[in-house]
Each structure stands twice: as C-alpha cells, then as structure tokens.
Amino acid sequence: MERAEPSVRRIPSRGAIERRHSVAVATLVPWLSVIAASMVPTLVIATALPLVPPTGFLLFLSWRLVRPGLLPVWSGLPLGLVDDLYSGQPFGFAIMSWSLAMLVLEIVERRFPWRSFAHDWLVAAIVLICYLGAGMILSGAILRPPLLVAMVPQLVLTILAVPVTARLVSFLDRLRLRRWRRA
C-alpha cells in the first residue's frame, strides 16, 4: 500500500489531527493584541522624554504588513479610538492617522505588489516617521527646537522595533490558528 502523503504526515504537533482552530480566537487575536499594545506605554513612567515606541500603532502596522487583509481596511477607526483613550494625544489623532495609514498602505501595495521584509520595513519606517511627526505637530504641545531633539531617541527606537513587532505578529498568527478544538 502507498504511504500517506508526506506533507500530510508532517503537520506538526501533538494530536493536531482531528482538531481545528477556533474561529473566535482566530478573529479576535489581531484586534485584542492591538488594543493591549495600545495600553502598554501607560505602564512605563517617562517624565522627561517620549521614549517608548507607540506600540499600539506598531502592532497595528505589523499586522497589516505581515498578514495583509486580516484586519479590514476600516479597522483604524475602532482600534484608533481605543488608542486615543490611552495615548495622551488629542482625541481623534489615532482614528485619523491609523485610517490614513491603512489607505496609504493599500496604495503602496497596489504600486509594489511584490514584497520582501526589507521593503516592508522601509515602508513602515516612512509611515512611522510621518506618524510621529504628525503626532508632534498635532499634540497641542508648544513646538520649540528642544522638542524636536527630544523626539529623536523615540523615533530611532520605534524604527528599530519594527522587526521585533513583525516577529511578534507572526508568533501571534501561529497562536491564532492553533488547532486545539476537537473537530
């Protein structure tokens, strides 16, 4: 008798056969992870400079870049609303900028349909620079040169954090589709 198809036999993990993923978990993980990430910066005490990357937006961006199409294009509206409650920016900033980011990424994707991680990172870096710059201008803070200088460390940290959040997203994505429910 023929042996079973190798690719079928290589499906990983203990007893994943006869099990399937939960639709609820698969749907909720991206949304909940972005909401949780929006709350993270409030846990850190930074009185001198804005130092922590905008983790909510970073994760949102990473979901869009790593798994395009998973978060709907309009998801910037509800997720941005939650971020606005915690970010310290004037209310509405995340709603606007997250929605705009989604539109920009759609356009970029249409123009450059091929993708590599370096390309994603570059796009993310440009989007993040615009995001933090716009955040500074629209924050209601009084704009003076020292403020510009104070922004630099956060900007660098944020751009360097992109590969980390991309990894985190792919980990969450594996978790999301884990087959643990009995079929």
- The smaller minimum CB distance to another protein, of residues 12 and 69, is found at 69
Residue count of the chain: 183
Alpha carbon distance 39, 37 (integer Å): 5
CA 159 to chain centre: 13
By CB under 8 A, name the binding residues for another protein.
Answer: 39, 41-55, 72-74, 76-77, 80, 82, 84-100, 102-103, 106, 135-136, 138-144, 146-147, 149-151, 154
What is the CB-side half-sphere exposure of residue 140 using CA atoms within 13 A? 6
From the CB of 180, what's the least distance to another protein, in Å?
Answer: 26
**3-state class percentages of the chain: helix first, strand second, coil last, to nearest 5:** 65, 0, 30
From the CB of 102, what's the least distance to another protein, in Å?
Answer: 6
From the CB of 141, what's the least distance to another protein, in Å?
Answer: 4
- The smaller minimum CB distance to another protein, of residues 103 and 122, is found at 103
